[in-house]
């Protein structure tokens, strides 16, 4: 039943055919279970493990590498090759791909935990009326039409319509659905609001929420997938994870690179068609296969095999730095996504605010004899910690607040007319509440006022331990006064009263809505001398004016406090006793903004990032907060920048598009609105970061480019997110964005380094093929260079320091390529001299080196016909490993200089010296040591087809030598 909130109680009962005094019969239970289903969230279908594995190989460059590995394997078999060397290249490629696939599968498996943890919010049992008897049944057995009784502490087992109140009031904590910290008062009357959101459905108890006050009966109207929790689950299932901007750009670049590789490979093969019949190959077919192997080697050279590993390593290093900023990254690609974020959709409660209600203003009657009649005090401190001062209207601090009669009695009333608890949690190192936030705020106010009659106050309070300090003053008043009777808060009275006794004197303390308390007062207490005087019409008008200012202009939540001296023999209270009260003060409280948020907002504006405050709170309260934190500082008028969810939905499509482009505040939202907002912004090519902490936020967190959960939030929100804020602080998001930008800059630098190095290898092989000289580098040597000698400096580039102006630049455009046309041209130039230097080293050994054979260049380019001609040298000279060793060494050394070229995109080594990144210097040294290692350690030199070219020079070939020396 989707519209139970808009129907009367008899209509709902009639719809399900149930008697509220007897409940459903067994026959009806079976019938309703068949009609409406069971109260279980169905398990989602998981992708088979083999599909997850195959998905990791759905990448063009990966497919090319797999093809290259298979072709190498087949050609090795075709040529009759055996042993380790024959299958080394395909084996290394496949091992790299398998490792990358394993990481991907683990990541995707973790993402499914959000849906599993959603079930933790389902109730296990319920008190159900069936066949005229109440019994406790598993919540999974509930069906629509069941009558259920709930009380304080109960987790709501299904969506239910209230039908009977069994206490003065019923309040429910709906934070997991709405994200708002204040509990919601429930009622029986029908909701008439058009397009009602969860907050408007005050007669519905939602599954997974918790009763914090009162007792009631309700009829089940929705079970399993047809509940609020079920709709969140469905939304999460419909939400597909968005690829990060970096991944999209790498995919695009991979496609481009694949086309270039295919073109060059085909060109190399075609250029050498004339050499297919060379006698050295043993026939046309073998010649075609030989040059096909060169084309495969070219593909291996062009593809940066180490890129996925280096990207992962760099992002992992970034996550460690971000963890120190209280931003715990769950998904590595999200580190980079932060850098191009253009819009942050931020929760209000707990993210921009402390989520701790605090009294910030107190109004008392100073004197009835002179103007101004009322006096205001400001109270500092934004958390539950009893730390803060009281300042008068002139800005002067009160050294002894408890000496002011009204403040003293406000402290008494706050401590005694209160059902909450304030305590210190040593494990978390902070003060925590038990009970309603507003009542805890009054307890903290009582602590800040202090105690009267002690000369050492309030300094002596600072000598206490934090555990004792939490409620020291409150405990003092509770020891001085004995509670006799309590009149609970009720909706019609809008107030609460408590009868206390002290030294045979009985006092009634009351607190409640200002309009209710002031209307019941006949006298007031004056703050200058503690006298009690009649409440005149003028004073009442002044108090009402101050109340309207607190509640309207400053959007404070207001409570009025009063007292009344009672007969010493009275032991109970009735509603009639709540009259002829003495007004003692008006308090205004709010969930205060975090101190650091305003500067964080300014940083966002400077960085070109728009912040949209998204909240379930009412519009006026949220607008007041936005003024305080500076979210509207750049706006002259903000009427067109602030919308409720219903206002936005009523706009025509064109106006919705315009509204989205300038929106700064979105209020009265529920889960579907958050997800809709993310999708709409993404359609405008915005990169969206969404914060959240409740179960309701999970679909939007999953849909956003980067979902940011609060550390204090639900497990569901954390599992659906990419990042968790350990301190729930908006300022940490801004710090993380700066780190994300720096990481992206470094990522671009090492991608450029690896690609330019690979282009050098391609140029080397291509030029050698065009010139007709022997293979300059073996495939296994290319793999070693790509994975190790390129990989270490590339990883170290990730340690480049963050630019000082990183948060002054506008976010990069989402369609900005990682490699632009101009950059690719630069790569070609750099790659050209890397490749030509490598080929030059190869040719130098054959033609000019004293340790080489000193062949004429014409002999070198006609090496294929050596066996058919008479030569002064043996043809086996072209199988020597020394020239390829020279080429590989030249390649490694030149690439080390190229690594230093990537300390910055546009600045030279004169501006940014090498020692600005000592990790890079260290990686270059280590790379050279590894290169020397494979040159001089015999098993490694054999494995990588290299030789020691600095030793045994006397054994090399000379003209007219007719014997072959042995090589190591």
Q: Which residues belong to the active site?
A: 347
Q: Is 635 left (phi over 0), alpha (psi -120 to 50) or beta?
A: beta
DSSP state of 820: -
Q: Exposure of 221 by Cβ count < 10 A (0-12 exposed, 13-18 middle, 19+ buried)?
A: buried
What are the CA-CA distances from residue 246 to residues 40, 690, 700 (Å)? 39, 19, 21
Residues 6+ apart with CB under 8 A from 251: 59, 60, 243
Cα separation, 501 vs 192, whole angstroms:
46
Residue of 786, 763, 777 whose CA lies nearest to 885: 777
Residue of 386, 382, 805, 340 whose CA lies nearest to 597: 382
Alpha helices in 360-449 (DSSP H): 405-416, 437-449
What are the CA-CA distances from residue 270 to residues 284, 285, 288, 766 (Å)? 13, 14, 10, 12
The residue count of the chain comes to 968
- Please count the other Cβ atoms lying within 10 Å of the Cβ belonging to residue 91: 14
Cα separation, 379 vs 387, whole angstroms:
10
Task: Label the pairing between strands 204-205 and 184-186.
Answer: unpaired
Place of tokens 């084996």: 91
CB 611 within 8 A of CB 601: yes
- DSSP characters over 245-291: HHHHHHHHHHHHHHHHHHHHHHHHHHHTGGGTT-GGGTSHHHHHHHH
> Is the backbone peptide bond immediately before 788 cis, with ω within 30 degrees of 0?
no
Q: 135 by DSSP, 3-state: which?
A: strand
Three-state secondary structure readout of 299-347: HHHHCCCCHHHHHHHHHHHHHHHHHCCCEEECCCHHHHHHCCCCEEEEE
What are the CA-CA distances from residue 904 to residues 168, 557, 810, 924 (Å)? 69, 53, 19, 17
Cα separation, 775 vs 756, whole angstroms:
21
Cα separation, 23 vs 21, whole angstroms:
6
Cα separation, 954 vs 948, whole angstroms:
13
DSSP state of 608: T
Q: 946 by DSSP, 3-state: which?
A: coil
Q: Is 206 left (phi over 0), alpha (psi -120 to 50) or beta?
A: beta
Structure tokens at 880: 């020597």
Place of tokens 């700066």: 738
CB 732 within 8 A of CB 281: no
Q: 57 by DSSP, 3-state: which?
A: coil
Identify the sign of the CA torsion 684, 689, 695, 699.
Answer: positive
Structure tokens at 89: 């290249």
Q: Exposure of 570 by Cβ count < 10 A (0-12 exposed, 13-18 middle, 19+ buried)?
A: middle
Half-sphere exposure of 480 (CA within 13 A, CB side): 14
């Amino acid at each position: 039943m989707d519209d139970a909130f808009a129907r009367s109680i008899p209509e709902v009962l009639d719809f399900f055919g149930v008697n509220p005094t007897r409940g459903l019969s067994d026959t009806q239970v079976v019938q309703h279970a068949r009609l409406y289903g069971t109260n279980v969230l169905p398990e989602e279908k998981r992708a088979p493990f083999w599909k997850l594995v195959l998905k990791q190989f759905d990448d063009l460059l990966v497919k090319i590498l797999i093809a290259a590995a298979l072709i190498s394997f087949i050609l090795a078999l075709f040529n009759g090759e055996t042993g380790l060397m024959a299958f080394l290249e395909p084996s290394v490629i496949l091992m790299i791909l398998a490792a990358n696939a394993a990481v991907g599968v683990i990541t995707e498996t973790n993402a499914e935990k959000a849906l599993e943890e959603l079930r933790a919010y389902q109730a296990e049992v319920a008190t159900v009326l069936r066949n005229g008897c109440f019994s406790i049944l598993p919540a999974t057995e509930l069906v629509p039409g069941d009558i259920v009784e709930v009380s304080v502490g109960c987790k709501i087992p299904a969506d239910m319509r209230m039908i009977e109140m069994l206490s003065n009031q019923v309040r429910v904590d709906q934070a997991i659905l709405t994200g708002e910290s204040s509990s919601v008062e429930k009622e029986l009357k029908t909701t008439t609001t058009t397009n009602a959101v969860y907050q408007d459905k005050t007669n519905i108890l939602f599954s997974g929420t918790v009763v914090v006050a009162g007792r009631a009966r309700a009829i089940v109207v929705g079970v399993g997938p047809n509940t609020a929790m079920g709709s969140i689950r469905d939304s999460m299932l419909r939400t597909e994870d968005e690829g990060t901007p970096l991944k999209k750009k790498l995919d695009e670049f991979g496609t481009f690179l694949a086309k270039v590789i295919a073109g060059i490979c085909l060109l190399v093969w075609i250029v050498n068609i004339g050499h297919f019949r060379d006698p050295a190959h043993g026939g046309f077919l073998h010649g075609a296969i030989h040059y096909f192997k060169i084309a495969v080697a070219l593909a291996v050279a062009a593809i940066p095999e180490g890129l996925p590993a280096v990207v992962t390593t760099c992002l992992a290093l970034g996550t460690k730095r971000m963890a120190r900023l209280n931003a715990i990254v769950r998904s590595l690609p999200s580190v980079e996504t932060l850098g191009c974020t253009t819009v942050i959709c931020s929760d209000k409660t707990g993210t921009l605010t402390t989520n701790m209600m605090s009294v910030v203003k107190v109004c008392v009657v100073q004197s009835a004899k002179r103007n101004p009649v009322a006096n205001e005090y400001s109270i500092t401190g934004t958390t539950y910690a009893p730390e803060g001062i009281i300042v008068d209207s002139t800005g002067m601090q009160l050294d002894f607040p408890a000496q002011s009669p009204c403040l003293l009695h406000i402290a008494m009333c706050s401590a005694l007319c209160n059902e909450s608890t304030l305590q210190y949690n040593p494990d978390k190192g902070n003060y925590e509440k038990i009970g309603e936030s507003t009542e805890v705020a009054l307890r903290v106010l009582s602590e800040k006022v202090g105690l009267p009659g002690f000369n050492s106050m309030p300094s002596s309070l600072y000598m206490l331990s934090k555990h004792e300090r939490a409620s020291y003053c409150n405990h003092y008043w509770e020891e001085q006064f004995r509670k006799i009777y309590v009149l609970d808060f009720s909706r019609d009275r809008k107030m609460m009263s408590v009868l206390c006794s002290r030294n045979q004197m009985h006092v009634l303390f009351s607190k409640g809505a200002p309009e209710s308390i002031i209307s019941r007062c006949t006298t007031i207490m004056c703050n200058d001398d503690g006298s009690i005087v009649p409440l005149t019409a003028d004073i009442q008008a002044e108090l009402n004016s101050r109340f309207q200012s607190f509640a309207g202009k400053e959007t404070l939540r207001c409570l009025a406090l009063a007292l009344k001296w009672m007969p010493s023999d009275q032991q109970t209270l009735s509603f009639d006793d709540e009259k002829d009260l003495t007004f003692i003060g008006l308090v205004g409280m709010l969930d205060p903004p975090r101190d650091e948020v305003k500067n964080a907002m300014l940083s966002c504006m400077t960085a070109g990032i728009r912040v949209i405050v998204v909240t379930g709170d009412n519009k006026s309260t949220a607008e007041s907060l936005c003024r305080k934190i500076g979210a509207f500082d750049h706006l002259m008028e903000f009427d067109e920048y602030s919308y409720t969810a219903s206002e936005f939905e009523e706009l025509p499509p064109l106006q919705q598009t315009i509204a989205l482009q300038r929106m700064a505040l979105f209020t009265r939202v529920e889960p579907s609105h958050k997800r809709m907002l993310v999708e709409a912004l993404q359609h405008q090519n915005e990169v969206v970061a969404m914060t959240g902490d409740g179960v309701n936020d999970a679909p939007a967190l999953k849909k956003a480019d980067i979902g940011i959960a609060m550390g204090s939030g639900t497990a569901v929100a954390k599992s659906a997110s990419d990042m968790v804020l350990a301190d729930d602080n908006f300022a940490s998001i801004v710090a993380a964005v700066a780190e994300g930008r720096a990481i992206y800059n470094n990522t671009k630098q090492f991608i450029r380094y690896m690609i330019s190095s690979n282009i050098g290898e391609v140029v080397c092989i291509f030029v050698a093929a065009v010139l007709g000289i022997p293979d300059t580098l073996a495939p296994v040597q290319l793999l070693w260079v790509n994975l190790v000698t390129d990989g270490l400096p590339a990883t170290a580039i990730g340690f480049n320091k963050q630019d000082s102006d990183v948060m002054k630049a506008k976010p990069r455009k989402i369609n900005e390529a990682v490699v632009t046309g101009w950059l690719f041209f630069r790569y070609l130039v750099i790659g050209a001299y890397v490749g030509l230097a490598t080929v030059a080293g190869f040719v130098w050994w054959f033609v000019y080196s004293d340790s080489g054979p000193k062949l004429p260049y014409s002999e070198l380019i006609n090496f294929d016909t050596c066996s058919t001609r008479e030569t002064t040298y043996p043809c086996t000279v072209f199988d020597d490993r020394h020239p390829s060793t020279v080429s590989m060494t030249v390649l490694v050394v030149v690439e080390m200089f190229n690594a230093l070229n990537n300390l910055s995109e546009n600045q030279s080594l004169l501006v940014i010296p090498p020692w600005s990144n000592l990790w890079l210097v260290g990686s270059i040294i280590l790379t050279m040591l590894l290169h020397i290692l494979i040159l001089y350690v015999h098993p490694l030199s054999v494995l990588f087809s290299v030789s020691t070219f600095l030793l045994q020079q006397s054994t090399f070939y000379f003209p007219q030598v007719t014997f072959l020396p042995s090589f190591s």
